[in-house]
């Protein structure tokens, strides 16, 4: 699973998507800094998720960005998405693999090398750790460290994703400490000072 070092952003959708979102997404992806886009919708029904998913999928294809779905393997199948991201309480990697074959499967490992070893043993395509900073998107239950990233890097060549409160002031340290991809949501979509396009431009 190769990726361009310049495209180190793993972009996560806001929880609510309105009509203006698609234009913003186009402008953000046009900056060629995003490798993966994860659709994370929790409360919408299947019909709405499919509708939104199809629109986003087209935009992702246009900019050669991998399109992933958060925790819904069946939606991956329906949309023909590139893969899914699983939490520890979601479907197991083994079961997901049976349903979606060789598509990308990534998993949250919180702040645990033990969980990462299990995920890699089950052939996860990437592992995600966090939170590295306080996040506005999710309550911070687990705190991850740079030391954890370095330990994980010694275990695997697979991509390591850092999650949690990442912004233009703290992102470089994560890249220097062996994170391959930075999961970013709030700084792009909920930034009170910058529009999404201007926010992504801050990551150089």
Q: Which two tokens stand for residue 201?
A: 């431009």
Q: Does residue 1 surpass a pLDDT of 80?
A: no
Question: Residue 95: CB partners within 8 Å, gap ≥ 6?
Answer: 73
Angle at 181 between CA 175 and CA 184, to 5 degrees: 100
- SS3 for 112? coil
CATH of the domain at 31: 3.20.20.70
pLDDT tens-digit profile of 71-109? 999 999 999 999 999 999 999 999 999 999 999 999 999
Question: Residue 67: CB partners within 8 Å, gap ≥ 6?
Answer: 36, 37, 39, 56, 57, 60, 61, 79, 81, 82
In a domain, 138, yes or no: yes
pTM of the model as a whole: 0.95
Q: Where are the alpha helices (DSSP H) in 63-170?
A: 73-79, 93-100, 113-121, 146-155
pLDDT at 2: 52
For residues 109 and 129, is the Cβ–Cβ distance under 8 A? yes
Cα torsion 151, 152, 153, 157: sign: positive
In a domain, 54, yes or no: yes
Q: How confident is the model at residue 137 (pLDDT cuts 50, 70, 90)?
A: low
In a domain, 101, yes or no: yes
In a domain, 1, yes or no: no
What's the structural domain count of the chain?
A: 1
Dihedrals φ, ψ of 127, to 5°? -120, 145
Q: How far apart are CA 58 and CA 36, in angstroms?
A: 14
- Determine which of 1-15, 146-160, 166-180 has the lowest per-residue pLDDT on average: 1-15
In a domain, 150, yes or no: yes
In a domain, 29, yes or no: yes
In a domain, 2, yes or no: no
For residues 26 and 59, is the Cβ–Cβ distance under 8 A? yes
Select from 93, 99, 95, 94 the least CA-distant residue to 81.
99
Taking residues 57-63, report their average pLDDT: 98
Q: Does residue 201 surpass a pLDDT of 60?
A: yes
| Whole-number Cα distances in Å, 156 to 15, 36, 100, 122, 124 | 31, 20, 23, 13, 11
Q: Which two tokens stand for residue 71?
A: 């925790």
Structural domain of 109: 9-200
In a domain, 188, yes or no: yes
pLDDT tens-digit profile of 124-134? 999 999 999 98
């Amino acid at each position: 699973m190769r990726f361009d070092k310049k495209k180190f952003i793993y972009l996560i959708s806001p929880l609510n998507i309105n009509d203006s979102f698609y234009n913003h997404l186009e402008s953000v992806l046009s900056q060629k800094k995003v490798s993966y886009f994860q659709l994370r919708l929790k409360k919408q029904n299947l019909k709405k998720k499919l509708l939104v998913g199809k629109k986003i999928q087209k935009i992702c294809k246009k900019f050669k960005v991998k399109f992933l779905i958060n925790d819904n393997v069946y939606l991956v199948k329906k949309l023909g998405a590139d893969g899914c991201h699983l939490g520890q309480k979601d479907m197991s990697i083994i079961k997901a693999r049976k349903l979606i074959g060789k598509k990308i499967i990534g998993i949250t490992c919180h702040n645990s090398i033990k969980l990462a070893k299990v995920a890699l043993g089950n052939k996860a395509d990437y592992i995600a750790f966090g939170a590295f900073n306080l996040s506005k998107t999710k309550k911070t239950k687990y705190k991850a460290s740079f030391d954890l990233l370095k330990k994980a890097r010694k275990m695997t060549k697979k991509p390591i994703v850092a999650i949690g409160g990442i912004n233009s002031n703290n992102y470089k340290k994560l890249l220097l400490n062996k994170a391959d991809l930075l999961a970013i949501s709030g700084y792009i979509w909920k930034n009170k000072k910058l529009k999404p396009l201007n926010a992504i431009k801050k990551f150089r």
